[in-house]
Copies of this chain bind each other. A is one copy, B any other.
């Protein structure tokens, strides 16, 4: 059974709002790549825009610059080893999809590789070229043109953390292969001062 459902673009920011580590996919001129990135965030709700730090020396940056597009896939906890692995080796040397047996298909709008098995969501992004910030801060801005999520954990615009979907819980890199799993939803209560 396929649990994947399209995410309306006005809800795309919610996929990154809580700061998960992501997989950045890219493809251009017959080559493709995948890397991990801890540093990404939304920057606008509508149109949905994001920023992500992609080191200018990486193969991913080369493909993103030439293709003008990339994918952001959000790995679930079940993919922690893979996430760390693709963040530790360069795609210039090996095809990481083949090396690690990663199944990806072309996204529906931009054709960038998107991963579904083990991921909670993905986005297809079109680079908004910003030469200065890409150079000074390795920061790439982009607009999200399509998104989808596994409805077992994200549905109706909301994440649902449950014990039975823990393999899809987002992971957040602390450094050097140590991640923390986002695990316990907590709802804020209104403070007295706030209702005055």
Residue numbers of A with Cβ under 8 A of B are 14, 17-21, 38-44, 49, 51, 53, 77, 80-85, 88-89, 99-100, 130, 132-133, 136-139, 141, 158-159, 161, 170-175, 177-191, 193-194, 196
Contact = CB atoms under 8 A, between A and B. Distances in A.
A51 B180 contact: no
Contacts of A177: 187-188
Nearest to A19: B19
A180 B159 contact: yes
Given A38-B19, A190-B85, A43 B139 contact: yes
A174 B191 contact: no
A39 B42 contact: yes
Going nearest first, the 7 A-B pairs with the smallest beta carbon separation are A19-B19, A84-B188, A18-B172, A183-B183, A181-B184, A177-B188, A180-B182
A133 B44 CA distance: 12
A194 B80 CA distance: 13
A183 B180 contact: yes
Contacts of A51: 41, 51, 137, 139
Give the interface SS of chain A, mostly helix, strand, loop or mixed: mixed
Contacts of A136: 141
Given A172-B18, A191-B81, A161 B184 contact: no
B183 A179 contact: no
B161 A180 contact: yes
Given A137-B43, A138-B44, A180 B174 contact: no
Contact of A43 (B39, B158, B175): B39
A137 B44 contact: yes
A81 B42 CA distance: 23
A74 to B, nearest CB: 11
B183 A174 contact: no
